[in-house]
Amino acid sequence: MAKTELTDRVGEIIEASTTEFVAQCYELYQSPPLGSLVKTRDREVELYGIVYNAATTSLEPGRRPIARGKDETSEEAVYQTSPQLSKLLRSEFGAVVVGHRQGDKLYHYLPPNPARIHGFVYLCRLEEVKEFSQSFDFLNILVNARVPVSADELIAAALRQMSQAHEDPHTFLVAAGKELAILLSGQFNQLKAILGRLK
């Protein structure tokens, strides 16, 4: 197991359920990319999730940001002249739980308990991504996940991300594609859409 360092930390959980968790980023706009593998810890169980959504909103739900850049020359200048902005806004991201690790064993199915609030969320390193993606069992969870983004987009993004952890991304994608072809054997159009996004 790769040692987790502080710099890999991307956020803190603010909402959690058995199937997914939502984390707030420590820095504005610092949410991990769509489809990336993240993890959090609940006592001795490590939970893995795949980022399906990221959003930046106002801290107070009823108060919408207003346009401020009319007299500014650049976008950065907006934040510079109103430094309070970065404290009034927040970035958060959601992740679908796709597996967990207990002891030395990696399981590609849901953990017994959901993540804990205020649990730290880390971005998985390449070796960990590679290890996790040895099995494609998580694809079944993604295919059946009820998330606001389309499953096609999410699966394609996740596989694209994971392929970068492998020496031969093409072989990895073909293998993943074959797994999808079996999962989606009756839905050729959906399969075609995902495959089209893998390139």
Partner 1 sequence: MTERLGIVVTGSLEKGVEVKLDGSVSVEDMAVGRYVTIEGQKQRFFGMITDVSLGVTDPKLTLTPPDVSDPFITEVLAGTGTYGTIRVSPYLTIGGDATTLLEGPQAVKTIPSHFSVVNPASQSDVELVFGSEDEKRFYIGTPLDMETKICLDLPELVKRSNGIFGKSGTGKTFLTRMLLIGMLQKSAAVNLIFDMHSEYGWAGTSEGGKMVKALKQLFPSKVAVFTLDEESSRRRKVSTDFVVRIGYDEIEPEDMGLLRQTLNLTEPAVEAVYQLHRRFGKNWVQSTLDLKDSEESKELLKETSIHESTFQNLQRGLQTIGRLPFLMPHAPDNAVKRILNYLDQGMNVVLEFGRYTDITAYILVANLLTRRIHAQYRDRMEKAIGEDTARPTPLVITIEEAHKFLNPEVASQTIFGTIAREMRKYNVTLLVIDQRPSGIDAEVMSQMGTKITCLLDNERDIDSVLAGVSGKSELKSVLARLESRQQALIFGHAVPMPVVIRTREYGSPKSYQDFVSGGPAEPKEQTEKDIEELWE
Residues at the site binding partner 1, with contacts judged by CB under 8 A: 170, 173-174, 177-178, 180-182, 185-189, 191-192, 195, 198-199
Please identify, using beta-carbon distances, which residue of 53 and 140 lies nearer to partner 1: 140
**95 versus 180: smaller Cβ distance to partner 1:** 180
Supply the minimum distance, in Å, between the C-beta of residue 175 and partner 1: 9
Query: Which among 5, 1, 3 is positioned nearest to 120, based on CA atoms?
Result: 5
Q: Is the distance from CB of 29 to CB of 85 less than 8 angstroms?
A: no
**Shortest Cβ distance from residue 106 to partner 1 (Å)?**
25
**Shortest reach from residue 199's CB to partner 1, in Å:** 6
Tell me whether residue 2 or residue 174 sits nearer to partner 1 (CB atom).
174
Residue 70 or 199 with smaller CB distance to partner 1: 199
Nearest to partner 1 of 68, 178 (CB atom): 178
The closest alpha carbon to 23, from 116, 157, 142, 102, belongs to 116
CB-nearer residue toward partner 1: 153 or 179: 179
The CA distance from 113 to 127, in Å, is: 25
- Taking the complex as a whole, the smallest distance from the CB of residue 163 to partner 1 amounts, in Å, to 12
Q: How far is the CB of 16 from partner 1 (least distance, A)?
A: 35
The interaxial angle of helices 151-163 and 188-198, nearest 10 deg, is 40
Residue 78 to residue 73: CA distance in whole angstroms: 8
Amino acid, single-letter form, for residue 166 = H
CB 194, min distance to partner 1, A: 10
> Per DSSP, what are the bridge partners of residue 101?
46, 106
Answer whether 39's CB lies under 8 Å from 23's CB. Answer: no
In contact, 46 and 39? CB cutoff 8 Å: yes
Closest CA to 187 of 129, 130, 144, 137: 144
